[in-house]
Chains A and B, each alone.
Chain A
Amino acid sequence: MEYSEKVMEHFRNPRNVGEIENPDGVGKVGNPVCGDIMELYIKVDGGIITDAKFKTFGCGAAIATSSMVTELVKNKTIEDALKISNRAVAEALGGLPPIKMHCSVLAEEALKRALDDYRMRSAKVASGKAA
């Protein structure tokens, strides 16, 4: 199995590793059984994702896709971030070996979950305000 130069570059120097204190959205996906766990944290300001960080337990592709998805969502509107597909993540990395495509799926799921979480939190805040 061979990784693209871009995958290896992100694996060697992953961007945005860590957690965000008081995040506006968190997406946790995967489980130890399948061997990949991703946690994605986002900060949102005025409908724009201003910061994104991740923590990942997984293979080279899992780390590279996590790193790439944080790069892709930064400075995007929620609507645009929702449009980021697993294929877009894989393509941005110059492709993934077929057996590792599930890592890009995991990255997309982590993002979707973080965005859902953000919407739920904002809805709560909104309803809290209304009450």
Chain B
Amino acid sequence: MKKIYLDNAATTPTDARVLQAMVPYFTEVYGNPSSLHAFGQEAKHAIEDARYTVASCIGAKPEEIIFTSGGTESNNCAVKGIAYARREKGNHIITSNIEHHAILEPCHFLEKQGFEITCIPVDENGIVDPADVEKAITEKTILISIMHANNEIGTNQPIGEIGKIARGRGIYFHTDAVQTLGHLPIDVNELNVDILSASGHKLNGPKGVGILYVKKGIRMLPFMHGGDQEQQRRASTHNVPGIVGFGKAVELAKEEMGKEIEKLTFLRNMLIDGILAKIEHSRLNGHPAQRLPNNVNISIAYVEGESMILNLDMEGIACSTGSACTSSSLEPSHVLTAIGLPHELAHGSLRFSLGRKTSEDDIRYVLAVLPGIVSKLRSMSPLYKKEVK
């Protein structure tokens, strides 16, 4: 059976070239980068090369890049590390109600510690209005954290404008760029970003490695205490193969970004247009244009998401109902609820996230298979009978 992977927002396959770059760092260059001998120094050179590659990709200086274990650590580190470092200045944090749980949960945690959190609502397309962010600012605001693009509905946020507002008021601005690094151009200077999180496995790199960009001069308490690694900002022995892989993944993504964006945008639109044309009572979630080149999020009325996923899986197609991190939860997605979808539509949503290996044939196959699955489920659905017949 044909197997088609359309869940690249959950994770991507590690590119063979990335893996190839990593392999020597398991078996040959295995030294600890903190060691003074040649074994260690060779490994240190490798991580510094990766740091340079990542920094130059986003317009940062190498010393502004901290390697972490992934997006969740980077987000936790940013939100909590800044909150605690700036506690004397204020206790107010602004974020949005469509952030990933790796931002929302640290914020909830801080709320219990006496911080105040404002979650900015989004419009029906899932976009944060910078004016709303500005209105929410108080004298106590110390941090604004708004994601670069949403992981479920793919909307790109106007973070450049939000960053400008934050900078004008002396408030730190963090962005969760887990879905965008390597997929969209990022320049931290143009975007007025002070702190940025990203993860290796979302851009055909390995799992278990991420970065945190922290602009020079930004105060942040470390999350991990221990050795002197990462300028004492993140203790723990470096994940050398992972960091090397991250560097290689960023290098490849940067080289191929232009043509990837073009290819994915074409395939994305083909999938969206095809579904909307072939399946009655379906709608696109998120902004039609201001969205990630690889994200398709569709609600299909009168059928439930998991049943569609299972049926698609039986046909060899892998996609998701929303975020992989919440797929065991019974609650409808907080993002779909935030854009005002009624519960029954939120429960009937599918996210297809395209990747480097996705082909036109793959999209044609999905478009050939999905309508039949939907009709089968609708024939079983008590909701379809009532509203349509």
Interface residues, chain A, with chain B CB atoms under 8 Å away: 1, 3, 8, 11-12, 14, 17, 19, 28, 32-39, 54-60, 62-63, 99, 102
9 A/B residue pairs, CB under 8 Å, sorted by A: A17-B379, A32-B342, A32-B343, A33-B344, A35-B347, A57-B302, A57-B384, A59-B305, A62-B304
Give B370-389 interface residues, CB cut-off 8 Å to A: 379-385
Instruction: List the A side residues contacting B306 at CB < 8 Å.
Output: 59-60
A19-B385, A36-B304, A59-B305 given; 18 more Cβ-contact pairs under 8 Å? A1-B328, A11-B307, A32-B342, A32-B347, A33-B344, A34-B330, A35-B330, A35-B332, A35-B343, A35-B344, A35-B347, A55-B385, A56-B380, A58-B307, A60-B306, A62-B304, A99-B328, A102-B330
In the complex, what residues of A have CB within 8 A of residue B385's CB? 19, 55
B114 to chain A minimum Cβ distance, whole angstroms, is: 33
- Interface class of chain B by DSSP: helix
Residues of B within 8 A of A (CB): 302-307, 310, 314, 327-328, 330, 332, 342-344, 347, 379-385
**Residues of A with C-beta under 8 A to B328:** 1, 99
How far apart are the CA atoms of A11 and B373 in the complex, in Å?
A: 12
Q: A14 and B310 in contact (CB under 8 A), knowing A34-B330, A99-B330? A: no
Cβ contact within 8 Å between B310 and A60: yes
Q: Which residues of B contact A8 (CB under 8 A)?
A: 310
- In the complex, the number of residue pairs spanning A and B with C-beta atoms less than 8 Å apart equals 63
**Bound form: Cα–Cα A62–B310 in Å:** 13
Q: A17-B379, A99-B330 are in contact. Are A59 and B307 (CB under 8 A)?
A: yes
A17–B307 touching, CB < 8 Å = no
Chain B residues with Cβ below 8 Å from A38 are: 382
Contacts of A62 in B (CB 8 A): 304
Partner pick for B307 among A1, A39, A54, A63, CB 8 A cutoff: A63
- Docked pose: A55 CA to B304 CA in angstroms: 13
Of the candidates A17, A19, A57, the one whose C-beta lies within 8 Å of that of B383 is A57
- B332 x A55 contact (CB < 8 A): no
Distance, CA A33 to CA B343, complexed state (A):
5
- The distance in angstroms between the C-alpha atoms of A37 and B147, with both chains bound, is 35
Q: Please, how many angstroms separate the alpha-carbon atoms of A33 and B331 in the complex?
A: 9
The residue in chain A whose Cβ has the minimal distance to the Cβ of B346 is A35
Q: Say whether A59 contacts B304, CB under 8 Å.
A: yes
Complex contacts, B303 vs chain A, CB 8 Å: 57
In chain A, what residue has the closest Cβ to B331?
Answer: A35
Q: Which residues of chain B are near A33, meaning CB under 8 Å?
A: 343-344
Q: Given A35-B332, A55-B385, A59-B307, are A12 and B314 neighbors across the interface (CB < 8 Å)? A: yes
Q: Are B342 and A14 in contact (CB under 8 A)?
A: no
Which residues of B lie under 8 Å from residue A55 when comparing CB positions? 380-382, 385
Pair A39/B382 contact, Cβ less than 8 Å: yes
CA distance A72 to B385 in the complex (A): 25
Contacts A39-B382, A55-B381, A57-B381 given: A11-B343 contact, CB under 8 Å?
no
Cα distance, A10 to B36, chains bound together (Å): 63
| B383 x A11 contact (CB < 8 A) | no
Closest to A67 in B: B380
